Amino acid sequence: MVRSYLLLLFCVTVWGSNFVFGAILVDNFPPMLLAVTRLFLTCSVYVVMAAASRRFEMPTRQDWKLLVPIGLMGVLINQSCFYIGMQDADPTSSSLLLSLSPIVIGLLAAAFLGERLTLRMAAGSVVAVSGVFFVVSKGGSIHLSVSELWIFGAMLSFTIATVLTRKLLERRDAFFVTAYSTIIGTVMLVPVAFARDRVSDMSTDPWAWVMLVVTALVMQVVCGLIWNRQMLRVGAGRAAVFLNLQPFVAMALGYAVLGTPVTIRQGIGSLLIIGGVLFATYRRKQETEPRESSESTSVTA
């Protein structure tokens, strides 16, 4: 069990570093072409895995009705918003905004999937949102910069895609949904990327390409596989708790690598956000164990 927790912590640390490495990469690559390149590498690995395991299976008409919007929201819009926003956004504030995902997913699931909205969920949501106010407020009012609005769009599109994914996972396995939605979204993103960005602006520095390739494969493929396997062992509920550590990883690495200062306001906001999310998503042991075996195959990193 300790080994599983250490592997989950490794995944969260790697994902939290994406805010820092993403900020470095968008200084060397056009944002949309950067997203396409990383996704192309990810799709290539999925295709190889599917071929090796003989898991090719054509989607049905009903599958397409959800796969297309999942690809649209979870890949095209999400990746576009994230990398455009990271051109100017502060990694710490970005990670804190994205850490609201569990709260928003819970609210959307209650509204559209019929999942129960508890008093704990409502109270935790209020606490988490108050934390966001500390991070983005100026002069007593909410103020989101343009870059932070892009990051907020990335968070919102991710939550919508997650809710749609949960619906499709009722009849399809996680690999099928993840692989097809990623490939569909990448195909959508290609013409947009080439229309917006110029290939001539791509970096020619070898170190930048190494960082791009390594981060794509480690963050989106290796950690995804590790996460799903270890989640089967410890349960979805326990694994999800580790995701709340991402903002702290982004803060620490942002300070160490980019020299980004962590303000008192961000510190207070992070404690409120993480505390609110933990409070809202916590379930007692007897509430989680019956569901973990079914949920564990439904969560993808």
Overall domain count for the chain = 1
Crossing angle, helix 246-253 and helix 18-25, to 10 degrees?
50
Please tell me the predicted confidence (pLDDT) of residue 81. Answer: 93
Q: For residue 104, which phi and psi values (nearest 5 degrees)?
A: -65, -40
Question: For residue 301, is it within any domain?
Answer: no
User: Rounded to an integer, what distance in angstroms lies between the CA atom of residue 257 and that of residue 91?
Assistant: 11
Domain that holds residue 267: 2-295
Work out the pLDDT band at 291, boundaries 50, 70, 90.
very low
245-280 residue pLDDT tens: 777 777 778 878 777 777 787 788 778 877 877 777
30-51 residue pLDDT tens: 999 999 999 999 999 988 988 8
- Give 118 or 171, the one with higher predicted confidence: 171
Q: How many CB atoms lie within 10 A of CB 200?
A: 7
Q: Which tokens belong to 187?
A: 């195909």
- Exposure string for 254-269, b = 16+ CB within 10 A, e = fewer: beeeeebebeeebeeb
The residues near 78 (Cβ < 8 Å, ≥ 6 apart) are: 154, 157, 158, 161
Query: Minimal CA–CA distance to 119: which of 272, 280, 275?
Result: 280
Question: For residue 96, is it within any domain?
Answer: yes
pTM recorded for the entire structure: 0.77
Q: How many CB atoms lie within 10 A of CB 180?
A: 24
Question: For residue 206, is it within any domain?
Answer: yes
For residue 299, pLDDT beyond 60: no
For residue 86, pLDDT beyond 90: no
